[in-house]
């Protein structure tokens, strides 16, 4: 289980500035980040060792003037339904506007924690003016400057205080069944795939009125293996209002992802891979989830000798740097290779469970290190003495060495490649830490 914070507020109050600042904190701490920055509306924040999902709802609102207010109100209602806590962001430079007032009306009605954040409080004068925001009637009020970062630490402290240990980071699960999430954008064929796998009756189950679960779990038994399929496809269609919001399907996908061991990302072969697909994919990778890509509607693609090979090559380029993953071409409609997709998800699950014995790991990796040493930094050579796989749910390795801070990304990538060459971690994001011996 994990904790989700949604940022709501009208345009230009500074939501995305704040959002980017929150995610940067994590970047500085975690060393497995690729350094590739993408436009994201959601991500994982890490503050004092606690992780939580952050969603910037602003990225989902089309800013054409006429639909504006209704869209924002919709977005607030969904955020209230879906998130565990809300950040209601306002702007000290403009003061309280009518739209702020109308959002506050909605937000005061929820029992979920709401953090009223007054942004752009860049100096003392602004702070004095900003006290008018107390009139909105929220208990938790924070004055920050997203630009300079002032006040953001206290805010993050207050948010993480709400997060219990088992809502943050890795949860040691008691039930041992592999859990696969079917994720992807609307209309790529998730429901069709699920129906092809588990039959039509499942859709009926999901239509039961008053279903309050965020995700549907379907217990499955196949190839003498048991697993659980997690999906959100059926629920998405529950309410018309929610149906048309991309934000809604994404927030659900993130929940499904949090519950899963392996994510099956479904793409539409004709449409190809979009920026949103890549964002969801890299979020799953950052969360350390296993990944399989299913290219659906392959029946619609005109094929020549190398079509699949070329398509796979193109996908891998787009998915880099983490692209050691199974890619399967399927048709949910014709039921082509859909079981292959499940088989691969099971393989990835096994790969993610795998713990390499320390002796074997050292034998292989120390040899690889011997044949290509980390470059000398500031006159001293770097000696890696020992490597061990960490006993964590997310696949991770610690390399013990004399100057852990001096090992740079290219050498880290070399080590990851060596791990992938010698052991099968297909579909599994790998974290690498350098520790002082
Ligand atoms: P969003 O539409 O709510 O996501 O707002 P943005 O993050 O795009 O910010 C809108 C504008 O406000 C940008 O020009 C930002 O540079 C500016 N801004 C954001 N935070 C601050 C702040 O703390 N102080 C000041 N002075 N400007 C800010
Ligand atoms: P979801 O929104 O991701 O759950 O997508 P749906 O399962 O509702 O499918 C969206 C549309 O794509 C429907 O019209 C399906 O009939 C169609 N579709 C799904 N899978 C396939 C496929 O493999 N081939 C073709 N040709 N159409 C498909």
Q: Which of 339-348, 373-382, 419-428 has the lowest mean pLDDT?
A: 373-382
Question: How would residue 38 be classed by pLDDT, with cut points 50, 70 and 90?
Answer: very low
Question: Quick check: 290 and 349 in contact, CB under 8 A?
Answer: yes
CB-ligand 2 contact for 336 (6 Å cutoff): no
Question: What's the gap in Å between 188 CA and the centre of ligand 2?
Answer: 6
Using N-to-C axis directions, what is the helix angle for 275-286 and 307-319, rounded to 10°? 60
Question: How close is the Cα of 94 to the center of ligand 2, in Å?
Answer: 46
14 labelled ligand-binding: yes
User: Residue 395, class by beta-carbon neighbours within 10 Å (0-12 exposed, 13-18 middle, 19+ buried)?
Assistant: buried
Q: Report the nearest-CA residue for atom 18 of ligand 1.
A: 14
C-beta of residue 72 within 8 angstroms of C-beta of residue 99:
yes
Q: Is 72 annotated as a binding residue?
A: no
Q: Identify which of 46, 44, 67, 71 has the alpha carbon closest to the alpha carbon of residue 59.
A: 71
Nearest CA to ligand 2 atom 12: 189
- Spatial strand order of the sheet with 179-183 comes to 216-222, 225-231, 179-183, 262-268, 290-296, 327-329
CA dist 111 to 76, 86, 185, Å? 14, 11, 31
Mean pLDDT in residue range 226-230:
83
Average pLDDT, the chain: 84
Per-residue pLDDT at 223: 59
pLDDT tens column, 355-383 = 999 999 999 999 999 999 988 888 889 99
ipTM: 0.71
Which ligand 2 atom minimizes the distance to the CA of 332?
Answer: 23
Per-residue pLDDT at 70 exceeds 90? no
Among protein residues, the one whose CA lies closest to atom 10 of ligand 1: 12
Judge if 179-353 and 358-436 fold alike in CATH terms.
Answer: no
Whether the per-residue pLDDT at 315 is higher than 50: the answer is yes
* Domain range summary for the chain, segments of one domain joined by +: 4-168, 179-353, 358-436
Full-model pTM:
0.73
Which ligand number lies closest to the CA of residue 301?
Answer: 2
Determine the pLDDT at residue 370. Answer: 95
| 187 CB near ligand 2 (under 6 Å) | yes
For residue 130, give the ligand nearest its CA: 1
Is residue 376 packed enough to be buried (19+ CB in 10 Å), middle (13-18) or exposed (0-12)?
exposed
Judged against a pLDDT cut of 50, whether residue 266 lies above it is answered with: yes
Give the range among 4-18, 170-184, 314-328 with minimum mean pLDDT.
Answer: 170-184
Distance in Å, CA 369 to ligand 1 centroid: 46
Residue closest via CA to ligand 1's atom 6 equals: 14
Determine which residue's CA is closest to atom 22 belonging to ligand 2: 297
CATH class label, 4-168: alpha beta
**Is residue 56 annotated as involved in ligand binding?**
yes
Nearest to 382 by CA among 408, 410, 366, 401: 401
pLDDT at position 204 is 39
Which residue would you say has higher pLDDT here, 123 or 299? Answer: 299
- CATH top-level class of 358-436: alpha beta
185 CB within 6 A, ligand 2: no
Q: Which two tokens stand for residue 243?
A: 């149906």
Higher per-residue confidence, 306 vs 63: 306
179-353, which class in CATH?
A: alpha beta
Instruction: State the pLDDT at residue 316.
Output: 96
pLDDT at residue 67, as a whole number? 59
pLDDT of residue 64: 56
| Per-residue pLDDT tens over the stretch 180-207 | 999 988 889 988 898 888 764 444 343 3
pLDDT band at 164 (very low <50, low <70, confident <90, very high): confident
The pLDDT score that the predictor gives to residue 138 is 95
Angle between helices 15-29 and 152-161 (to 10 degrees): 70
Residue nearest ligand 1's atom 17 by CA:
14
More confident of the two residues 28 and 312: 312
Share of the chain above pLDDT 90, in %: 53
> Per residue in 270-303, pLDDT tens?
999 998 899 889 989 989 999 999 999 999 999 9
pLDDT for residue 369: 95
Mean pLDDT, residues 236-256 taken together: 65
346/338 Cα distance (integer angstroms) = 13
75 CA distance to ligand 1 centroid (A)? 20
Q: Is there an atom of ligand 1 within 6 Å of 257 CB? A: no
Does the pLDDT of residue 104 top 80, yes or no? yes
- Which has more confidence, 168 or 136? 136
Of 58-72, 249-263, 357-371, the one with minimum mean pLDDT is: 58-72
Q: What is the pLDDT of residue 33?
A: 37
Q: How high is the pLDDT of residue 57?
A: 80
- Using the predicted structure, report yes or no on whether residue 41 has a pLDDT greater than 60: yes
pLDDT of residue 229: 85
């Amino acid at each position: 289980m994990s904790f989700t914070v949604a940022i709501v507020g009208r345009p230009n109050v500074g939501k995305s500035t704040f959002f980017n600042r929150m995610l940067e904190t994590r970047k500085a701490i975690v060393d497995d980040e690729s350094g590739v920055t993408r436009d994201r509306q959601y991500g994982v924040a890490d503050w004092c060792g606690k992780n939580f999902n952050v969603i910037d709802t602003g990225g989902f609102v089309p800013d054409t003037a006429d639909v504006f207010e209704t869209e924002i109100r919709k977005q607030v209602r969904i955020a209230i339904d879906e998130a565990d806590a809300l950040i209601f962001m306002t702007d000290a430079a403009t003061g309280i506007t009518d739209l702020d007032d109308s959002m506050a009306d909605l937000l005061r009605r929820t029992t979920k924690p709401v953090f009223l954040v007054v942004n752009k409080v860049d100096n003392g004068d602004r702070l004095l003016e900003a006290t008018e925001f107390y009139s909105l009637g929220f208990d938790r009020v924070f004055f920050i400057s997203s630009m300079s970062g002032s006040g953001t630490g206290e805010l993050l402290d207050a948010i993480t205080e709400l997060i219990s240990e088992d809502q943050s980071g890795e949860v040691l699960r008691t039930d041992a069944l592999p859990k696969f999430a079917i994720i992807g954008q609307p209309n790529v064929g998730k429901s069709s795939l699920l129906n092809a796998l588990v039959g039509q009756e499942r859709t009926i189950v999901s239509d039961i009125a008053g279903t309050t679960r965020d995700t549907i779990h379907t217990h499955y038994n196949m190839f003498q293996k048991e697993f659980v399929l997690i999906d959100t496809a059926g629920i998405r269609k529950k309410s018309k209002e929610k149906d048309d919001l991309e934000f809604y399907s994404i927030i659900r996908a993130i929940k499904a992802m949090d519950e899963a061991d392996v994510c099956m990302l479904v793409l539409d072969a004709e449409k190809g891979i979009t920026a949103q697909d890549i964002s969801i994919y890299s979020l799953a990778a950052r969360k350390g989830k296993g990944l399989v890509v299913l290219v659906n509607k392959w029946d619609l693609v005109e094929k020549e000798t190398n079509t699949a090979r070329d398509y796979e090559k193109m996908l891998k380029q787009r998915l880099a740097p983490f692209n050691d993953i199974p890619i399967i071409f399927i048709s949910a409609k014709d039921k082509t290779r859909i079981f292959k997709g499940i088989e691969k998800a099971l393989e990835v699950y096994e790969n993610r469970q795998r713990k390499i014995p320390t002796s074997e790991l050292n034998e292989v990796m120390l040899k690889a290190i011997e044949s290509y040493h980390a470059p000398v930094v500031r006159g001293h050579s770097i000696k890696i003495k020992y490597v061990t796989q960490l006993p964590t749910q997310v696949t991770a390795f610690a390399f013990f060495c004399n100057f852990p801070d001096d090992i740079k990304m290219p050498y880290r990538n070399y080590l990851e490649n060596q791990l992938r060459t010698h052991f099968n971690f297909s579909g599994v994001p790998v974290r690498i830490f350098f520790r002082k011996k």
